[in-house]
Structure 1
């Protein structure tokens, strides 16, 4: 069972932990969970075996965390504020932890670091490219349609895979709709503020959020690492966890 802590507004956030050692905060993707992205496929165990402490929260509306229906629970930047509250709850100081994110988790990590809210020792950005940052409104519109037209989306519709995944995860659609409105586009000029070593780790067939290689080139100190798979499958493969461990150990 995960631990829980109360975030900045009292929302209960679930936190799963594996291993001991230097802390690594791992942020999962949209409509997923710590279990689905990090634990089910052994990535948390890989970090633990390498001497790290994998700290894997469930975002609000996801996994074992609360999913409030009050619009006041979704101010702009709410997920960044939740992660900052977690870091404060754990008593972690700047440079004492590493930060890893996949898809929405990567986007959240970038926002937090670029605006000086978090200062990890190293930053691993997985399944994210330039378009996923600068064109979030378009991406969010796709997922809003999945929620708004949930009962009428069928096989053959471009949104069917996303609808099926959302249903399989038991996501509260009312809360998810509110969360999507709490995120905004990212100013790419802020990438220059991310000065710690970073890695853009992405599936060879993953273009869901644009070019990860282009994103790596825009960061002051970043490496592009290619792993097998598409956006949905790359996070299920051992190479993803191995790439994260290798980068954090470098």
Structure 2
């Protein structure tokens, strides 16, 4: 068993017994604002999420094929108005013959919602990528990066539209600047929305949603300058409002000439449990 496996097992054992409303307690966001596959939501809440990616025909720098990655996302809301918070993303992967290992951790010390309404949220994020991975094992670049991100959520009854933009520059190690744009459109099958805002905690047992993402990653400078990967990500979400747990499954399908793998199968699950209810 991986040295990191007990950490994930303990985390899940801690979270599973907790029953909470759909969004974090006190949050008045539209129920149509779902958590997507790879596009990050703009609304700020306490969050616990696990992501899994199974790579088809992935090839690392040493020509080894096949890959699997996991990432743990933990977010905290520092204000009662869900206005500002912080987040950490801890990725682990098996991208070759050397087994499972830690990749470069990403920290978002400041996330701030400039617009914070039930159906529209616009958030800015400052990020730092830390050189915690081992480059010799294909698990990181051993570089430190700084980034600026903007997220937009907008809902209209059952419909949801989300946008992410990110620019990141390597400030130590190999010089590189990259830009990412991602967008998602989703439809949640929430009953009885009519012309009103979709309820934050629908009365139905589960809420299915269909979603489609478009993700573009472009390298603006550095040794890989000019590389551009464009992907479409269809998927499904299944949300259980009474407990708050949501499960998502989909695929990442590169449609550009540049690509990191043939395709990926994506799976994730998570919740917005208040940290005060856990500790």
TM-score (norm 2): 0.32
Which structure has the bigger radius of gyration? 2
Point out the structure with the larger strand share: 2
